[in-house]
Structure 1
Amino acid sequence: MSWKNHLRGDLLLLLTALIWGSAFVAQKVGMDHMGPFMYTGIRFALGALVLTPLILYFGSLRPPSAAGQKSPSILLAGLLSGTILFVASILQQVGIIYTTAGKAGFITGLYVVIVPLIGCLWGFRPGAGAGVGAVLAVTGLYLLTITDGLTISLGDSLVLACAFMYALHVLAIGWMAPRMDVLRLAALQFWVCAGLSLLVGLALEELTWNMVRSAAVPILYGGVLSVGVAFTLQVVAQKRSPPTHAAVILSLETVFAVFAGMIILGEALSPRGWAGCALMLAGMLAAQLDSVYPVKKVLVDRIRRLFKQTH
Structure 2
Amino acid sequence: MKPADVCIAVLVAVIWGLAFVASRIALDELSPTMLTALRFAIGALPCLFVPRPKVAWPILIAISFTLFLGQFLTQAYGIGHGVPVGLTSVIVQSQALFTVGFAALLLDERPSRVQTLGIAIAAGGLLMICGTVGYDFSVQAFAVLMFSPIFFAAGNLLLRQAPGVPMFDLSTWLCLIAAVPLLALAVVGDGAQPTWHALSHMSLKVLICMLVIGLVSTCTAYWLWGRLLRDYTAAQVVPFALLVPFVGSAASSIVFNETFGPLRLAGMLTVVAGIAVMLLSKRAQVLPKVVGA
Contact 2:112–2:283, Cα closer than 8 Å, also in 1: no
Aligned runs of 1:100-119 on 2, under 5 Å?
Answer: 100-119=84-103
Please tell me whether residue 41 in structure 1 is matched to residue 41 in structure 2.
no
Which of structure 1's runs of 4+ aligned residues deviate more than 4 A?
A: 50-53, 148-152
Give the secondary-structure state (helix, strand or coil) at the position aligned to 1:10. helix
How far apart, in 2, do the equivalents of 1:212 and 1:51 lie?
26
Contact 1:91–1:161, Cα closer than 8 Å, also in 2: yes
Contact 1:78–1:186, Cα closer than 8 Å, also in 2: no
Contact 1:8–1:237, Cα closer than 8 Å, also in 2: no
Q: How many residue pairs are counted as aligned between the two chains?
A: 274
Q: 1:265 pairs with 237, 256, 271, which one?
A: 256
Shifted more, 253-262 versus 135-144: the winner is 135-144
Match of 2:239 in 1: 248
Contact 1:99–1:155, Cα closer than 8 Å, also in 2: yes
One-letter identity of the residue aligned with 1:191: L
How far apart, in 2, do the equivalents of 1:131 and 1:253 lie?
23
Give the RMSD, CA atoms, in angstroms.
2.5
CA drift at 1:292: 4.8
CA drift at 1:130: 2.1
Please tell me whether residue 83 in structure 1 is matched to residue 75 in structure 2.
no
CA drift at 1:18: 0.6
Match of 2:282 in 1: 290
**For the structure 1 residues 236 and 217, does the alpha-carbon distance in structure 2 shift closer, same or farther, using more than 3 Å as the test?**
same
One-letter identity of the residue aligned with 1:109: Q
Shifted more, 147-156 versus 209-218: the winner is 147-156
Match of 1:190 in 2: 175
**For the structure 1 residues 270 and 181, does the alpha-carbon distance in structure 2 shift closer, same or farther, using more than 3 Å as the test?**
same
How far apart, in 2, do the equivalents of 1:256 and 1:94 lie?
21
Contact 1:145–1:152, Cα closer than 8 Å, also in 2: no
Q: Which has the larger radius of gyration?
A: 1
Match of 1:159 in 2: 145
CA drift at 1:215: 2.0
CA drift at 1:123: 1.3
How far apart, in 1, do the equivalents of 2:13 and 2:47 lie?
19
Aligned runs of 1:1-311 on 2, under 5 Å?
Answer: 6-50=2-46, 53=49, 55=50, 73=56, 75-84=57-66, 85-97=68-80, 98-121=82-105, 122-147=107-132, 153-173=139-159, 175-178=160-163, 180-205=165-190, 206-207=194-195, 208=197, 209-211=200-202, 213=204, 215-288=206-279, 289-292=281-284
Deviations 1:13-56 (A, max 9, x none): 11101111111111111111011111111111111224654x37
**For the structure 1 residues 271 and 52, does the alpha-carbon distance in structure 2 shift closer, same or farther, using more than 3 Å as the test?**
farther
One-letter identity of the residue aligned with 1:93: A
How far apart, in 1, do the equivalents of 2:39 and 2:55 lie?
28
Residue segments in structure 2 that go unaligned for 5+ positions in a row = 286-293
**For the structure 1 residues 181 and 37, does the alpha-carbon distance in structure 2 shift closer, same or farther, using more than 3 Å as the test?**
same
CA drift at 1:148: 7.8
CA drift at 1:217: 2.2
CA drift at 1:273: 2.2
Residue segments in structure 1 that go unaligned for 5+ positions in a row = 63-70, 294-311
**For the structure 1 residues 29 and 254, does the alpha-carbon distance in structure 2 shift closer, same or farther, using more than 3 Å as the test?**
same
How far apart, in 2, do the equivalents of 1:210 and 1:115 lie?
40
One-letter identity of the residue aligned with 2:86: G
Give the secondary-structure state (helix, strand or coil) at the position aligned to 2:2. helix
Give the secondary-structure state (helix, strand or coil) at the position aligned to 1:258. helix
How far apart, in 2, do the equivalents of 1:240 and 1:185 lie?
17
CA drift at 1:229: 1.4
Contact 2:168–2:219, Cα closer than 8 Å, also in 1: no
TM-score by length of 1: 0.81
How far apart, in 2, do the equivalents of 1:148 and 1:89 lie?
21
